[in-house]
Amino acid sequence: MRPVLSLLLSVLGMVAAAPPAAAEKRVALVVGNSAYRNVTPLDNPKNDAALMAETLRGLGFALVGGSAQLNLDKARLDAAVQVFGAQLQGADVALFYYAGHGIQLRGANYLVPVDANPTKEADVDFQMLDSNTVLRQMESAGSRLNLAILDACRNNPFGARGLRATDSGLAQMHAPEGTLISFATQPGAVAQDGTNGNSPFTRALARTIRRPGLDVFRTFNEVGLAVTKATGGAQQPWVSSSPITGEFYFAGPLDAAGGKNGAGGGAASDADAGMRADLALAQKIDKRGVWQAILDKYPTGLAAAAARARLEELTKSEVALVASPSIRRRRRSRVTLLARGAALVGHRGMRPQTEGRIQGMRQMSGDGGGAGGLVYDGLDWVR
C-alpha cells in the first residue's frame, strides 16, 4: 500500500478510536409494564421498553439494571427509582421512560405497577407511584438536563372496580428547572397502545432520536408530527418544558459539511466501527470497484480521502503498465499477427476451425490493448 493511503488509514483509525471530548454522562431508567395481574394486560409496553432501552444504549446511555425493567410491582418500581436517583450523581443527562398503565387523580399522575389493585381513592398513594417522585429524584441530582417520557396515557383500567374519581389520560405537569416532560398525547387525552408490536409514540421516538442533527426540542417536535400523521390526527404528543441551558442532541449534531461529528455517544462509535470494517475489507480486496463503492458510501471525510488516494494510485499503476516497453512490443506483435491472419481468412485451404479462431482474435483486439493482451499460441494456418 502506498504511503499516502497508509497515512490516511492510520489517522482515520486514531480519530475513530479516540473517545469524544468531554463525553456526557447519560443515565436512563426504562420501565415497561405489560403483565398486569388484576386488570387486562397490555400487549406492547414490554416491547416498547425493550426498544427504547436498546436505542438509548446505542446512544451512550447507561441503563439502570443494565436493560429495560419489565413488569415491576410496587416494591420493585420504588427500588428502581431510588437506584436511578443514586446513579444520577454527577450525570449530565437523566432520562426516565415509562410505558404501561397510568392514571390521573386530583391533578396528579400515577404510574401503575403490575400488582396494583385499588378499590378506593385512598389506595392509590400506597399502590401506585406518583410521577412527581421521579422528577424529584432527577431534580435533586443536579443533572444539566432531565427528560421524563411517559407513554402511559391510557384509559383508567380500574374504573369498573370502584376507582371512579379519575379523568381520562394524564394531567398536565409542571416541568422543574432544566426538565422536559414528553407525553404520548395531549393532557386528558388517551393514547393508542398500538397493534404491530409497538405503540405509535414509542416507534416514532426510537426512530427519531437516532437521527443526528436534531436538538432536543426539534426531536420531540418531529416525534409529534410523526405520531399525528401515523394516527390520522387521533393522537398528538405533548411536551411540557422549562428553559434548558445549552444544547442537547441524542445522536450528536452535524458538522459544517452536514455530516455527523461523532459527539453523540454510542451511535457515532458504531458508525465509525462500520466504516473501519469497510475500509479493512477494501484494503484486503484492493480492487478499483471496491474502492469506488467506499467513495460512494462515504462521499466526505477521511474514508473518502483514503478511497480517492487508492483510486489515484491504481490509475497511475495502470497507465504506467500500459506504457511500458514490454506491453508496447506485445501490442505490436498482436497487431502483426492479426493482420497476417486476416489475410488468410477465406483462403480455400484454411481449416474452418482456424478461421474461427482468427476471427475471435480480431474481436479480442478491441479491448484497448491492456496488459492482458492476446498472445500468439501457434495457430496452424494451412494452405
Contact present, 276 and 12 (Cβ < 8 Å): yes
For 36, the enclosing helix (H) or strand (E) is none
User: pLDDT tens, 129-164?
Assistant: 999 999 999 999 999 999 999 998 767 788 766 565
CA atoms in the 13 A half-sphere facing the CB of 273 = 8
Residue-level pLDDT at 260: 61
Q: What is the dihedral of CA 110, 64, 136, 106, to 10 degrees?
A: 0
Residue among 39, 28, 37, 46 at smallest CA distance from 193: 46
Query: Above 50 in pLDDT, residue 327?
Result: yes
In the three-class reduction of DSSP (H, G, I as helix; E, B as strand; rest coil), residue 215 is classed as strand
Higher pLDDT, 12 or 71: 71
Who contacts 8 (Cβ-Cβ below 8 Å, separation ≥6)? Answer: 302, 305, 306, 309
C-alpha–C-alpha distance, residues 246 and 107, integer Å: 31
Q: How far is CA 152 from CA 23, 112, 209, in A?
A: 32, 9, 19
Q: What is the pTM of this model?
A: 0.64
C-alpha–C-alpha distance, residues 100 and 107, integer Å: 19
C-alpha–C-alpha distance, residues 296 and 307, integer Å: 9
C-alpha–C-alpha distance, residues 3 and 50, integer Å: 47
Q: What is the dihedral of CA 4, 10, 13, 17, to 10 degrees?
A: -140
Q: DSSP label at 375?
A: -
Q: DSSP label at 169?
A: S
Residue among 180, 247, 260, 257 at smallest CA distance from 213: 260
Who contacts 228 (Cβ-Cβ below 8 Å, separation ≥6)? Answer: 235, 236, 237
What one-letter code names the amino acid at 69? Q
Provide the pLDDT confidence category of residue 185 given band limits of 50, 70 and 90: confident
Who contacts 247 (Cβ-Cβ below 8 Å, separation ≥6)? Answer: 215, 216, 253
> Cell triple for residue 339?
493482420
Question: Contacts by 374-381 with C-beta closer than 8 Å and gap 24+?
Answer: 374/334, 374/337, 375/330, 375/334, 376/333, 376/334, 376/337, 379/341, 379/354, 380/351, 380/354, 381/341, 381/344, 381/347, 381/350, 381/354
Residue-level pLDDT at 362: 46
Provide the pLDDT confidence category of residue 307 given band limits of 50, 70 and 90: confident
Q: Is 304 exposed, middle or buried (0-12, 13-18, 19+ CB in 10 A)?
A: middle
For 145, the enclosing helix (H) or strand (E) is strand 145-151
Provide the pLDDT confidence category of residue 361 given band limits of 50, 70 and 90: very low
Query: Above 80 in pLDDT, residue 364?
Result: no
Who contacts 121 (Cβ-Cβ below 8 Å, separation ≥6)? Answer: 105, 163, 165
